[in-house]
Amino acid sequence: MSSGETRFASVDEQMNLLKRGTVDLVDEEQLRQKLARSRETGKPLTVKTGFDPSAPDLHLGHTVLIRKMKHFQDLGHRVVFLIGDFTAMIGDPSGRNATRPQLTAEDVAANSETYKRQIFHLLDRETTVIDYNSRWLGKLGSEGMVRLAGRYTLARMMEREDFRARFESNQPISLHELLYPLVQAYDSIALEADVELGGHDQIFNLLVGRDLMKEEGLEPQVVLTVPLLVGIDGTNKMSKSLGNSIAVEDSGQEIYGKTMSIGDELMWEWYLLLTDEPEEEIAQRRSRVEAGKLHPMAAKKDLARYLVAEYHDEAAAEQAAAEFEKVFSGGGVPDEVPLFALAGPSQLPDVLMAADLAPSKREARRLIEQGAVSIDSERASDPTFEITAREEPYLFKVGKRRFARIRIE
């Protein structure tokens, strides 16, 4: 739907879509007024979402927010994907119990390029506006930054839950972290944003934007937040560092297999946040599962196919489903198994780490002790076991879906 077509969707219809899967909406009446005005004038709302390019990969947790951007875009609004190339060098403290490492300009530039490629799995390439906050923040200079800092008090800043918790537990808070909410708010002023989207952990920063826009004499932005997606471990928010994520650019087999590993209850949250399937259909599917009329694995397979098709295509979804049946239902081995050549002899935990089968020695030992590791179809239970050289590669299997062939040299 192009800009201006918002007039064909009623305010109620737009609100139903935009409120789907949200946590905070500040405030709803203002959003209704903005949508009504947009519908009358044909002028789309400017919807801002900032992403700091702090890592090269986007994962499905990021796509919850990107999908909400898509909802605004589908309704004809102007979506700005703001790359925080300036703010990334500060480091967003949201939800952190320690100071985030500052990135170099080179890291930020490289990560920005991957973001620009990955967002178009969901967003429209022609109508999405990509901007960089260094365009205005870089021009502020030392005087402008001091004046900006003078517009907010330390007492207000310490209302942030994570800052307060770190202060009370004697964890250090660097002064540059206190600037982060202010420069993010300045982004909203520069773009004259009607709406700002963010994760629920961003709520404080987004509300600072409302405050400073009022001071600037601008109509304050509406703030809308989405939940933090729980990762495949079923416990923590999705994060690459925790090893519980699915990357947007993972292979179809990886996306399918990892999705099939999640708990049955988590599946419904993923349906709501990671698909555009109507909520009534999700509720009906869940009722059928709870009534014993549909097996939860069948519902999960539908979800896995949807996600593979979203980030690859239908053919990849078919292939991933067939591969899953072969490996996990039939007890087979995937057609393509990565081969690693390692120096040896080496203890089992070191081999698992070197072959990307475990993120750390501690996790490798846990997997071994839980009986999740097999070598040539034989369970390995001794963390001190040494893998020695032989002519044929070993076939390693970790859990139900991770395989590697390893040659010890």
> What pLDDT, on the 0 to 100 scale, is given for residue 4?
43
Distances (CA, A) of 328 to 33, 253, 295, 399: 52, 12, 17, 10
Given 329, 364, 387, the domain boundary residue is 329
Q: Looking at the structure, do residues 283 and 395 belong to the same domain, yes or no?
A: no
Residues ≥6 apart with Cβ < 8 Å to 223: 24, 25, 26, 195, 196, 198, 203, 206, 207, 209, 210
Place of tokens 């393509």: 336
Pairwise CA distance, residues 307 & 85, whole Å: 29
Residues ≥6 apart with Cβ < 8 Å to 185: 205, 208, 209, 211, 212, 213
Query: Would you say residue 290 has pLDDT above 80?
Result: yes
Share of the chain above pLDDT 70, in %: 94
Name beta bridge partners: 199: 226
> What pLDDT, on the 0 to 100 scale, is given for residue 66?
96
Burial code (b: 16+ CB inside 10 Å, e: under 16) for 311-326 equals bbeeebbebbbebbee
What tokens does 206 get?
A: 């987004």
Domain that holds residue 258: 250-329
CA proximity to 383, closest of 398, 400, 371, 368: 368
Residue 138 lies in a domain: yes
> What pLDDT, on the 0 to 100 scale, is given for residue 33?
97
- pTM of the entire structure? 0.78
> What pLDDT, on the 0 to 100 scale, is given for residue 280?
95
Bigger pLDDT: 71 vs 384:
71
- Residue 343 maps to which CATH number? 3.10.290.10
How many helices (H) and strands (E) are present in the chain, helices listed first? 17, 13
Q: 63-115: per-residue pLDDT in tens?
A: 999 999 999 999 999 999 999 888 887 766 555 545 556 667 787 788 888 88
Amino acid at site 370: Q
Q: Looking at the structure, do residues 12 and 96 belong to the same domain, yes or no?
A: yes
Q: What is the dihedral of CA 254, 259, 262, 266, to 10 degrees?
A: 150
Contact 273, 21 (CB under 8 A): yes
Burial code (b: 16+ CB inside 10 Å, e: under 16) for 138-154 equals eeeeeeeeeebeeebee
Residue 243 lies in a domain: no
Given 226, 241, 276, the domain boundary residue is 226
Strands (E), 312-393: 339-342, 346-347, 373-375, 378-379, 386-387
Q: Looking at the structure, do residues 305 and 347 belong to the same domain, yes or no?
A: no
> What pLDDT, on the 0 to 100 scale, is given for residue 2?
43
Residue 244 lies in a domain: no
Contact 38, 6 (CB under 8 A): yes
CA proximity to 76, closest of 53, 46, 103: 46
Residue 302 lies in a domain: yes
pLDDT confidence bin for 3, thresholds 50/70/90: very low
Domain count, the chain: 3
Residue 197 lies in a domain: yes
Residue 231 lies in a domain: no
Q: 224-279: per-residue pLDDT in tens?
A: 999 999 999 999 999 887 889 999 999 999 999 999 999 999 999 999 999 999 99
Residue 334 lies in a domain: no
Bigger pLDDT: 336 vs 95:
336
Q: What angle do CA 222, 228, 229 make, to 5 degrees?
A: 135
> How large is the average pLDDT for residues 108-126?
88
Contact 238, 60 (CB under 8 A): yes
What tokens does 61 get?
A: 């947790």
Q: Looking at the structure, do residues 312 and 396 belong to the same domain, yes or no?
A: no
Q: Looking at the structure, do residues 293 and 386 belong to the same domain, yes or no?
A: no
> How large is the average pLDDT for residues 50-63?
87
Q: Looking at the structure, do residues 297 and 370 belong to the same domain, yes or no?
A: no
Contact 320, 255 (CB under 8 A): yes
> What pLDDT, on the 0 to 100 scale, is given for residue 102?
64
Query: Would you say residue 123 has pLDDT above 60?
Result: yes
Average pLDDT, the chain: 88
> What pLDDT, on the 0 to 100 scale, is given for residue 157?
82
Residue 322 lies in a domain: yes
Q: Looking at the structure, do residues 71 and 24 belong to the same domain, yes or no?
A: yes
